[in-house]
Amino acid sequence: MPEPLHKGERIFRGIPVSVGVCRGKILVLGRAQHAITKCPLSDSELPEEVNRLERALVQTRHDILDVQHRVGEAMGAAEGSIFDAHLLVLEDRTLIDEVVRIINGEKVNAEYAFHQVAERYASTLAAIEDDYLRERAGDMRDVTGRVLNNLLGQQGGPDVRNLKEPCIIIRHDLTPSNTAQMDRSKVLGFATDIGSKTSHTAIMARSLRIPAVVGLKNASEEMESGQYALLDGFNGIVIINPTDQTLFEYGQLIRKQVTLEEKLRDIISKPAVTLDGHRVLLSANIEQAADTQAVLESGAEGVGLFRTEYLYISRDHLPSEEEQYQAYRQVVTALKPHSVLIRTFDLGGDKFLSHLQVPTEMNPFLGWRAIRFCLQERDIFRNQLRAILRASAEGNVKMMYPMISGLDELNQANALVEEYKAELRKEGVPFDENMEIGAMIEIPSAVMIADALAKRVKFFSIGTNDLIQYSLAVDRMNEKIAHLYEPTHPAILRLIKATVEAARRNNIWVGVCGEMAGEPVLTALLLGLGVNELSAAPPLVPQVKFMVRRLKATETVALAEFALGCESGSEILARCQDLARQSAPSLFEDKG
Ligand code: PEP
Ligand code: MG
């Protein structure tokens, strides 16, 4: 039960993932199953209503066969055959004839009639003392949901591109591609029931500067489109029907935030150097070519992670080499002489192009993702590597591979780069012969063999989002276990330290480009562990720089030493918070 803050309002708490406060009407998306109303029809409308039902049944059959095919490919025919029971429901003439009888007899819409009959069948099955029959009730409800979705025409994802008026989007879940398509002028903010801080949807929200809250559990079911709401992306709160008192209090918070932003603006052109003269390289993470302006305005020295998959995630065709070259060139020339670190496609996990025929996987984050996908899909990889190499002739380009888990992958990828370099040389196409190539360190196995990897690359970039997920076995998307997703876990700090030491032994540099790098509370810890570069979303760069300029390198080393000898993640976090609050109190006192 959501608690009221002031009388008449309802407050829902989740996980804050993208800062900012917004208010406006909410639009609840994706609630087909709750929108079944009884609509009386005239005699002349009835034949078309029956046709509509038949079309929805055919479409549903088609959908189920498609899912069955994907599951069969991914997991084998036996698993795929579980959908046979679903197909049988659609072929049950007794059920369908009864639905048609209700449409014609009661002169009502197909959704209502179908729901009535299917729900009666399902409840009868569910009440029988027989496990097999009870399972059939589940099948019946599953199929009913699909048929109703098709009748209501809501089988596609939410259309967030064509919103009529500015609103706050509420949905059970949003994929990264849904988020990438959001029209910033119409989406004031968004909130979802599931997700966590390092899900790609959250990362996208920060990149688009859309205030967002995730992990609201089942809040979307308790909200209605059209209600007025306030969304607080600092504290992870959505307030429905905020009272005047609440709006007043938030007005103050927004004013304090503006003051802080003005203060941060002052240091944008200043260097990222600690009080005792230690220089830190601060870069920005980008997802789109259009983000270059945000990078320049943030005071970052170039790009430390270009998530290239987002360039194409919301498109319906594969990018050609030329299209990619143009996109990379645009970023590289705009940021020259700063460097742009282009990461090769990290498709898979929660990010797939809708037009790629990729089988559904049981564990997509452990599946056909990133370098594993690229090494098999050679044409896609070749286009990208050639485009990056060509762009390297236009400025300061670096490149890295995501999800390296072993030496073979790195060797294979490096060999392909050499092959495409030879092609370009032969064609007389210019590229930077000395373009630095690095490996992302985001899988524990990569840390364990970091010395071997380091001999074959010029740098490491630690992807803490995945490193934490894979080391602690905590799904980075799952709000139910978000409390276990602990960046200051002693194991994580030791993995970072081991990576830094291997890099030093082999004379290469190390950056951090996961969300840890954008968290000012953790800046001292990462610097103390010895990383050379921090790369964060552009809106977070000024805060991190502010923090760097308030710290002494000596105290960061002392903090890291304490952390490496400490057994408790929460104790380490408390120490980090103490140092951060002491060093830069103004960064923290204005968060409400
Ligand atoms: C990471 O895993 O930390 C990272 C930067 O990559 P992504 O968030 O895109 O998986
Ligand atoms: Mg990653």
| DSSP code at position 4 | P
Across the range 71-91, mean pLDDT stands at 71
For CATH 1.10.274.10, the residue range(s) in the chain are 43-152
pLDDT category at 133 given cuts 50, 70, 90 is confident
pTM here is 0.76
Which atom of ligand 1 is found nearest the CA of 516? 3
> Does the beta carbon of 463 sit less than 6 angstroms from any atom of ligand 1?
yes
Q: Closest-lying ligand to the alpha carbon of 307?
A: 1
Tell me the pLDDT tens digit for each residue of 258-299.
888 888 988 999 999 999 999 999 999 999 888 999 999 999
| DSSP code at position 377 | S
Across the range 533-556, mean pLDDT stands at 96
- Provide the residues around ligand 2 (an ion) whose CB is within 5 A: 442, 463, 466
CATH number assigned to the domain covering 268-587: 3.20.20.60
pLDDT category at 73 given cuts 50, 70, 90 is low
The pLDDT of residue 220 is above 90: no
Ligand 1, from 204, 465, 472: best to mutate by most atoms within 8 Å of Cβ?
465
Which atom of ligand 1 is found nearest the CA of 462? 3
> Does the beta carbon of 369 sit less than 6 angstroms from any atom of ligand 1?
no
Active site residue 172: no
> Does the beta carbon of 513 sit less than 6 angstroms from any atom of ligand 1?
yes
pLDDT for res 207: 83
For CATH 3.50.30.10, the residue range(s) in the chain are 10-32+158-262
pLDDT for res 156: 45
Sheet holding 237-240, edge to edge: 10-13, 237-240, 228-232, 21-29, 167-171, 187-192, 212-214, 15-18
**CATH fit for domain 10-32+158-262, picks 1.20.120.1200, 3.40.50.300, 3.40.50.2000, 3.50.30.10:** 3.50.30.10
* Nearest one of 283, 265, 280, 380 to 331, comparing CA atoms: 283
**CATH fit for domain 43-152, picks 3.20.20.370, 3.40.50.1220, 3.40.50.1820, 1.10.274.10:** 1.10.274.10
Q: How many CA atoms lie within 13 A of 265 on its CB side?
A: 6
22, 167, 374, 513: the active-site residue? 513
Active site residue 167: no
In angstroms, rounded to a whole number, what is the distance separating the alpha carbons of residues 13 and 129?
A: 40
> Which residue has the least CA distance to atom 8 on ligand 1?
465
Tokens 């980090």 correspond to 576
Coil, helix or strand for 440? strand
The pLDDT of residue 142 is above 90: no
Q: What is the torsion angle, in degrees rounded to the nearest 10, for the CA atoms of residue 477, residue 2, residue 163 and residue 15?
A: -30
4-8, 146-150, 166-170, 212-216: which has the minimum mean pLDDT?
Answer: 4-8
The pLDDT of residue 569 is above 90: yes
Coil, helix or strand for 319? coil
Across the range 345-349, mean pLDDT stands at 89
In angstroms, rounded to a whole number, what is the distance separating the alpha carbons of residues 79 and 351?
A: 24
**Among residues of the chain, what percentage have pLDDT more than 70?**
91
Q: How far is the CA of 233 from the centre of ligand 1 (A)?
A: 21
Ligand 1, from 442, 467, 475, 476: best to mutate by most atoms within 8 Å of Cβ?
442
Ligand 1, from 344, 513, 515: best to mutate by most atoms within 8 Å of Cβ?
513
200, 374, 489, 576: the active-site residue? 200
304, 513, 517 from 541: Cα distances, Å: 12, 12, 9
Q: Under 8 Å CB-to-CB from 93, ≥6 apart: which residues?
A: none
Q: How far is the CA of 324 from the centre of ligand 1 (A)?
A: 21
In angstroms, rounded to a whole number, what is the distance separating the alpha carbons of residues 129 and 592?
A: 54
Q: Are strands 15-18 and 533-536 parallel, antiparallel or unpaired?
A: unpaired
The residue with greater pLDDT, 29 or 131, is 29
Across the range 521-528, mean pLDDT stands at 98
Radius of gyration of the chain (CA): 27
